[in-house]
A and B are shown apart, each in its own frame.
Chain A
Amino acid sequence: DAGVIQSPRHEVTEMGQEVTLRCKPISGHDYLFWYRQTMMRGLELLIYFNNNVPIDDSGMPEDRFSAKMPNASFSTLKIQPSEPRDSAVYFCASSSRTGGIYEQYFGPGTRLTVT
């Protein structure tokens, strides 16, 4: 398996622009997670889905952030409008229940810079 795939790997945009991050989970995994990582705040869970349905979005910082999972093989995280404080590395992870546990597999991340 190719693992979790994220695109783009790097994104530089200007404040006020719309940013869309993409994720393809591992085939067969039924959970998908979006995380944000910064030096100041560490690894933060933004939202997660189960079987394409959003379960917990309490970590989404504000209404400028939205996430969708239209099917089992694709998810997007959108920021509109973007702000400099959104600069971070965004990770997507997927998991499934195997042997009674959930092992999360992370993608390589998207480094977002908002100027």
Chain B
Amino acid sequence: QQQVKQSPQSLIVQKGGISIINCAYENTAFDYFPWYQQFPGKGPALLIAIRPDVSEKKEGRFTISFNKSAKQFSLHIMDSQPGDSATYFCAASGWTNAGKSTFGDGTTLTVKP
């Protein structure tokens, strides 16, 4: 079964804190792991992505940590800001899916000022 399990379902963080969202996958054929950010009334937008040949990727305040052996990856948002309040989705895709991504259930992040 090609599932991606995401946790937590919701997260409340104080401004300036670190937000951490976790995902786990089952299919070892997955070779691309993007994170999407969705604001209310908008479509999901690609935020950051990682390939399994690296263990970490950082873009500004956003970092993906990837553990291939555990089949887990996580999104870390440093110095979280109220503007980061959104729903975050992890996803996974691979050659076997030829472009089709399997999405996690999403995490609603609220950053309190």
Evaluate whether A102 and B105 lie within 8 angstroms (CB atoms) in the complex, with A91-B43, A97-B99, A109-B43 already known: no
Evaluate whether A101 and B51 lie within 8 angstroms (CB atoms) in the complex, with A43-B89, A106-B44, A109-B43 already known: yes
Q: Is the CB of B101 within 8 A of A102?
A: yes
Q: Is B73 an interface residue (CB 8 A)?
A: no
In the complex, which range does the number of interface residues on chain A fall in? 20 to 34
Q: Is B70 an interface residue (CB 8 A)?
A: no
Evaluate whether A48 and B46 lie within 8 angstroms (CB atoms) in the complex, with A43-B106, A101-B32, A102-B32 already known: no
Q: Is the CB of B100 within 8 A of A33?
A: yes
The smallest C-beta distance from B92 to any residue of chain A, in angstroms, reads: 11
Q: Is A45 an interface residue (CB 8 A)?
A: yes
Tell me the number of A-to-B contacts counted with CB atoms below 8 Å: 49
Q: Tally B residues with Cβ within 8 Å of A.
A: 19
Q: Is the CB of A42 within 8 A of B98?
A: no
Kindly state the separation between the CA atoms of A73 and B58 in the bound complex, as whole angstroms: 35
Q: Is B61 an interface residue (CB 8 A)?
A: no
* B91-113 Cβ-contact flags toward A at 8 Å (1 or 0): 00100001111010110000000
- Which residues of B are at the interface with A, using a C-beta cutoff of 8 A? 32, 34, 36, 42-46, 49, 51, 89, 93, 98-101, 103, 105-106
In the complex, 5 of the A-B residue pairs with CB atoms within 8 angstroms, ordered by the A residue number, are: A43-B44, A43-B89, A56-B100, A93-B43, A108-B42
